[in-house]
Amino acid sequence: METLNFKLYCRHCRKIVNVYECHREEKVLPEIKPEFDLITVCCTVCKNPLMKMTKLHKKLGEDKQ
């Protein structure tokens, strides 16, 4: 998936590691406008999930205007 440009502490590796987006659930909060995606962030070393966060949903073609 997509490597993210920040680092988090991994309890399993016991160090600060690079992270990547390992799973994305699109538009999971329909009652909130604008729509958000739920993203699971994982460690690049041990592949364990570290946290879940929300990110603004972008439709195709909207990111460059």
Identify the domain containing residue 14 by its residue range: 3-56
In a domain, 64, yes or no: no
In a domain, 65, yes or no: no
Token pair of 49, please? Answer: 């999930």
More confident residue, 2 or 62: 2
In a domain, 61, yes or no: no
Per residue in 3-48, pLDDT (tens digit) is: 889 999 999 999 999 999 999 888 766 676 777 888 999 999 999 9
Domain count, the chain: 1
Q: Burial letters for 23-51: b for 16+ Cβ neighbours within 10 Å, e otherwise? A: eeeeeeeeeeeeebbebbbbbeeeeeebe
Task: Kindly report the pTM of this predicted structure.
Answer: 0.72
User: Residue 51: is its pLDDT beyond 80?
Assistant: yes
User: Residue 61: is its pLDDT beyond 70?
Assistant: no
More confident residue, 61 or 42: 42
